[in-house]
Each structure stands twice: as structure tokens, then as C-alpha cells.
Amino acid sequence: MIEYLKGKVISLYPTHVILETNEIGYEVHISIQTYSAIDPTLLQTLFIHEVIREDAHQLFGFISTDERNLFRHLISVSGIGPNTARMMLSSLSSEEIKHAILSGNSLTLKNIKGIGSKTAERIIIDLKDKVGKISKESENLMVQSNTLMEEALSALLALGFNKQASEKTLAKISASESGLNLEMLIKKALKQL
């Protein structure tokens, strides 16, 4: 089993990266979370989960062990394969998925492409105990994130943008990038609206 790969980024795409390690190029499937955290100018370390089937040998890479652990929990649920789990991690941050599972919020999970109401309920039932309790730190991050989103939405509405389009754009940006301040979030939203 490969635990991690460390190497030079040869090509970077939202769905995969080509990582060169010891003169071997590995195609590693990634989520949007990992994509936005990769700096192609630096050596990168990706934590690997291997999927070996008769017809394919795939590597899934994650910027943190936390994201990889959540991926492994998700694929342990009946009906969730590696690509669906990656789609979930691309649609929401790890903390948002954990929060949805722990709070029993199936609506948040249902909004992800490929997840129906039965699958969302199954994820919550199967993973509620495995994901563990939300730490105080992640609760604080969630509160800060919500306040930031509200302030950004307020600013966009004041500039005359449509509320629904603004909410959708802000949700998309926050799912793909973390650590943005208010100014950066608004600038990114303005480019997409």
C-alpha cells in the first residue's frame, strides 16, 4: 500500500494531478479541496488511497490525512464509490460534510450531485458514530465561516446582485477554497457573477 507520494507537480487539473516521484509520473485523482490547496511551484505531498480492481488501479490523493480519513469513511457506506466520495469532497469541505452528518442534515448531503435522499440518510446513519463529535475548534470555524458568508452576501446584495445567484456563487467558492478573508471572497464572487 502507498501511504503518500511526494514529488513535483507536472500537470494540475481540478480532477487529477500528475505527480512525478523518482522519475515516475503518477496520475492521482483529487478533490476540489485538494486542488485548491496544491501549490504547483512547490514539492507536494499527497496522502494516497489506492483502489485496485480487475480493470483499473486508481490512486486518490488528499492534501491532509483528515480528508483521506473522511473519504475512507464515505466509501465504507453502501452505494458510495470512490468517485461519488470525491464528488462529495469537491462539493463541500470536510468540516461541512462532518457537520451535516453529525447534525443529521440530509438536505445538505442531498444537494450534492449523485446523492439521493436514501443515500444521504444512509450516510448519516452509518457515519454518525465514526465521524465523532465536532471539536470546539471546528464549531468556531463553522460560526466564523457563516458570519463571513453573511457579510459577503450582504455586500453583494448592496451592489445590486441577485440574492439566489450570489448565494450559489458564494457557496461554490467556499466549498472549493478555505481560508479566504471577506475581501478575497467578495472579489472572487464578483469575477464569477
Domains of the chain and any CATH numbers: 4-62 (2.40.50.140), 66-131 (1.10.150.20), 136-192 (1.10.8)
pLDDT at position 165, please?
Answer: 85
Residues in the chain, overall count: 193
Contact 63, 178 (CB under 8 A): no
pLDDT at position 141, please?
Answer: 52
Q: Dihedral, CA atoms, 57, 32, 131, 75, nearest 10 degrees? A: -30
pLDDT at position 123, please?
Answer: 93
pLDDT at position 160, please?
Answer: 83
pLDDT at position 122, please?
Answer: 93
Report how far residue 17's alpha carbon sits from residue 34's, in angstroms, rounded to the nearest whole number.
Answer: 10
pLDDT at position 135, please?
Answer: 42
Beta strand pairing call for 16-21 and 24-29: antiparallel
Strand partners, 16: 29
pLDDT at position 24, please?
Answer: 95
pLDDT at position 134, please?
Answer: 44
Report how far residue 89's alpha carbon sits from residue 152's, in angstroms, rounded to the nearest whole number.
Answer: 23
Cα→Cα distances 183→33, 107, 146, 189, 191, Å? 20, 29, 15, 10, 13
Cell digits for 118? 436514501
Low-confidence ranges of the chain (pLDDT < 50): 133-137, 139
* Burial status of residue 113 (CB atoms within 10 A of its CB: 0-12, 13-18, 19 or more): exposed
79-125 per-position pLDDT tens digit: 899 999 999 999 998 889 998 898 888 899 998 888 999 999 999 99
Contact 94, 70 (CB under 8 A): yes
pLDDT at position 144, please?
Answer: 54
